[in-house]
Amino acid sequence: DIESPYLLGKQMVETLYEELAANANDVELAKNSVDIEAILAKKKIAIILAVEGGYIIENSLEKLEWFYTQGARYLTLTWNTGCDWIGGANEENKRLTPFGKEVLNKLNELGMIIDLSHVNAQSVDDVLNATEDTVVATHSGAYAINAHQRNLSDAHIKEIVARGGVVGSVFYPYFLNGTEKATIADVVKHISYIRNLTGGVDGIAIGSDFDGID
C-alpha cells in the first residue's frame, strides 16, 4: 500500500506512460492545443493528463512542478474535503492560505490551468481575487438550478467564462436535481441556464464525471 499521495500519483503517471506505450497506434499524450490538433489529425485519441486534488503535491511546489514535467496540464485544486491550503466543497469556512496563493502563482508560471470544481464558494472567491488568469470548472453545475454546494453561483459562472474559461456540465444526479436519478433533460437544463447566463456556448463544456458516479 502507498500512503503518500505523491508516490501514488507517481505510480499512476508511470501506469499512464505504460498504457501509452502499449497503445501507441491509438493514443498519444497531448501537452498543448497544437499537440491535440496534430494527434486528432492522425486519427488518434489525444490524452490529457490532469490531477484532481492538490493533496498530491504534499505542500511542495517542487512536487507540483514534477507533475507538470510529466505532462499534467491542469490541477483541480482540491476534492470535497480541502487541502491544507484551500477549502473543499464540504467545508464552509476554510479559505485559501498564503501557501495556496504560492500554488496559484506556480500554476500560472507553469501554464497549468486552475480547476475550481470541488472548491468551496469562499475559496472560489479567494482564487478569483488572487489571480487574473483563465480558470475552469471541469465538472460542476449551476447553483441556481440546484442549490448543492458542488454547484457554482451565477457570479462565479460569469467570471469563469468572462476570463475565457469553461464550465464542464456535470452529470451526477445529486448535483443536477438533488435526487438519485437524473436524465439528459436535467443536464440540458444546466447547460441551457449557463448559455443564457453567459450569452453563448463558448463557456460550456461536457464535464460528465462518469468516473465518479456509481
State pLDDT tens for residues 85-130: 999 999 988 999 999 999 999 999 999 999 999 999 999 999 999 9
Name which of 86, 81, 63 is nearest 13 in CA terms: 63
pLDDT of residue 211: 86
pLDDT of residue 92: 86
pLDDT of 14 over the 70 cut:
yes
DSSP the chain: ----HHHHHHHHHHHHHHHHHHTTTTEEE-SSHHHHHHHHHTT-EEE--EEE-GGGGTT-HHHHHHHHHTT--EEE---SS-BTTB-BTT-SS----HHHHHHHHHHHHHTPEEE-TTB-HHHHHHHHHH--S-EEEEEE-BTTTS--TTSBPHHHHHHHHHTT--EEEE--HHHHHSSS---HHHHHHHHHHHHHHHTSSTTEEEEE-GGG--
pLDDT of residue 103: 98
State pLDDT tens for residues 134-152: 999 999 999 999 999 999 9
Q: Residues 153, 48, 126, 56: what is their CA dihedral angle, to the nearest 10 degrees? A: 120
